[in-house]
Amino acid sequence: MFESAEIGHTIDKATYDSQVPALREALLSAQLDLLEQARFPVLILISGIEGAGKSETVKLLNEWMDPRHVQVSTFDEQTDEELAHPPAWRYWRQMPPKGKIGIYFGNWYDQMLQARVHKVIEDPRLDQAINGAVRLERMLSEEGTLVFKFWFHLSKKHMKERLKTLENDPLHSWRLSPLDWQQSKTYDQFVRYGERVLRRCSRDFAPWYVIDGSDEHYRSLSVGRILLQGLQAALKNKGPAKPSPHAAPLVSSLDNRTLLDALDMSQALTKEEYQEQLIAEQARLSRLMRDKRMRKFALVAVFEGNDAAGKGGSIQRIAAALDPRQYRIVPIASPTEEERAQPYLWRFWRHIPARGKFTIFDRSWYGRVLVERVENLCAQADWLRAYGEINDFEEELSNAGVVLVKFWLAIDQETQLQRFKEREETPFKHYKITEDDWRNRSKWDDYCDAVGDMVDRTSTAIAPWTLVEANDKRFARVKILRTINDTLEAALNR
């Protein structure tokens, strides 16, 4: 993996000086195209051996390009806000928007390598981290992000020489390496695990580039050229997304009987049963949220459902049980301009609760496989890959102690019609019914298929879907509260 980066490539100063001006101009011009097209962001990951020219190269890229549209992020010590969120949160919050270039120093690779070298984790956990990285980058790449990964390399001998030089250079003392790089053992281990990481994470959509860091001119020209070629190719390629290998529409069940048909929609509660059970479950939720063990967890509830199925009312019954300081309700409408400039999941990541908190999503990331699928708002390839991306996302949350509860509130067509009419007739509820609702209704069967596929593909052990029979609002509200409580209680007792 690193062999060719240790043979000591060099480029003499004259050649370098003669080539840089044209490269610079081309890079700057590509950057301007990128900015103007604003079709995708560029993410550059910088990793490798200490002293191999990582910060020098980043500095140079800033000089060669317009630094106003390059955003360098470092990820050293986690802040306490970062510690209170799932590990990926810190990377999501720094994502460059479309048209811009983000450079990540100390990215997920450094984190996993440091942890492995210092024996904070063992091989199985390293492999998990590697798989997580591949999934994340695949998703970013499918969302349009152009990912470059540079590994700056040095042979052990070169590294030792380099660290010595830096030490004696007062102007560059900020680049003094951490103590452990002075030790041979660290180098050996870093290279050993680095090899494994590079091998498994070098994919067509985000390959690793190993850069020989021993010669400044060679290193700088190499990185510049790779960036330029990648950028130019991506800027030229304006075609539609490539079709997914399984782009044939999903097959609905052969007997035409969906999951939703199997629900017993007649379930109901009397007013007395409702009052009693509602209060009991609300008190239970209030108690659970104030449980000391909750400090280690966060809670996320996702509400999806037919129009007029009673999402709003159910959410209000949950809110009524809680201290308003503990929860936040996030209504998902059309994405804002800043959200549209980011990968799909970004706008949900920004609302993921810190430990001890509860976020209720009124509609959610499932919009991609529901409304966006049915209304053709995204390409088929996009919603087809979304199932896997969503499962990855939810696993990340779950691994970080986020308890997930997902509800589909189902009503039948007659009940919906009745509620629509009621809303149109009650001046106070009139705002709740729009043209969209009637249009969605005309696509009832499409939605049924979408819901069936969604549940089949994203109801997982860590984040199962709960289908809620919501013809009777009382029954639905109690079932929802009880499900949240059961799930949360199980998590706290685990």
The contact set with a second copy (CB under 8 A) reads 25, 28-29, 32, 55, 58-59, 62-63, 66-72, 74, 79-81, 103, 105, 171, 173-175, 283, 286-287, 290, 312, 315-316, 319-320, 322-325, 328-331, 336-338, 362, 428, 431
| Closer to a second copy by Cβ: residue 55 or 189 | 55
Strand bridging mode 101-105 / 208-212: unpaired
Beta-carbon contacts of residue 356 (< 8 Å; ≥ 6 apart): 84, 294, 295, 297, 298, 326
Taking the complex as a whole, how short is the minimal distance between the CB of residue 166 and a second copy, in angstroms?
A: 13
| Closer to a second copy by Cβ: residue 191 or 288 | 288
Strand bridging mode 402-410 / 358-362: unpaired
Is 354 exposed, middle or buried (CB count within 10 Å of its CB: 0-12, 13-18, 19+)? middle
What's the CA dihedral at 281, 285, 287, 289 to 10 degrees?
180
Taking the complex as a whole, how short is the minimal distance between the CB of residue 258 and a second copy, in angstroms?
A: 29
Taking the complex as a whole, how short is the minimal distance between the CB of residue 344 and a second copy, in angstroms?
A: 17
| Closer to a second copy by Cβ: residue 58 or 467 | 58
Taking the complex as a whole, how short is the minimal distance between the CB of residue 459 and a second copy, in angstroms?
A: 25
Taking the complex as a whole, how short is the minimal distance between the CB of residue 47 and a second copy, in angstroms?
A: 15
| Closer to a second copy by Cβ: residue 189 or 286 | 286
Rounded CA gap, 190 and 226, in Å? 24
Taking the complex as a whole, how short is the minimal distance between the CB of residue 293 and a second copy, in angstroms?
A: 15
Longest CA pairwise span in the chain (Å) = 89
| Closer to a second copy by Cβ: residue 129 or 488 | 488
| Closer to a second copy by Cβ: residue 71 or 182 | 71
Taking the complex as a whole, how short is the minimal distance between the CB of residue 30 and a second copy, in angstroms?
A: 12
Are the beta carbons of 475 and 269 closer than 8 angstroms?
Answer: yes
Question: Which residues on neighbouring strands pair with residue 402, listed in sequence order?
Answer: 298
> Rounded to the nearest 10 degrees, what angle do helices 444-458 and 435-442 cross at?
80
| Closer to a second copy by Cβ: residue 21 or 124 | 21
Question: Which residues on neighbouring strands pair with residue 153, listed in sequence order?
Answer: 212
| Closer to a second copy by Cβ: residue 243 or 312 | 312
Contacts of 158-161 with C-beta under 8 Å, sequence gap 24+, read 158/6, 158/213, 158/214, 159/49, 159/50, 159/51, 159/52, 159/187
Amino acid at 17: D
Taking the complex as a whole, how short is the minimal distance between the CB of residue 82 and a second copy, in angstroms?
A: 8
* Neighbour tally for 492: CB within 10 Å: 15
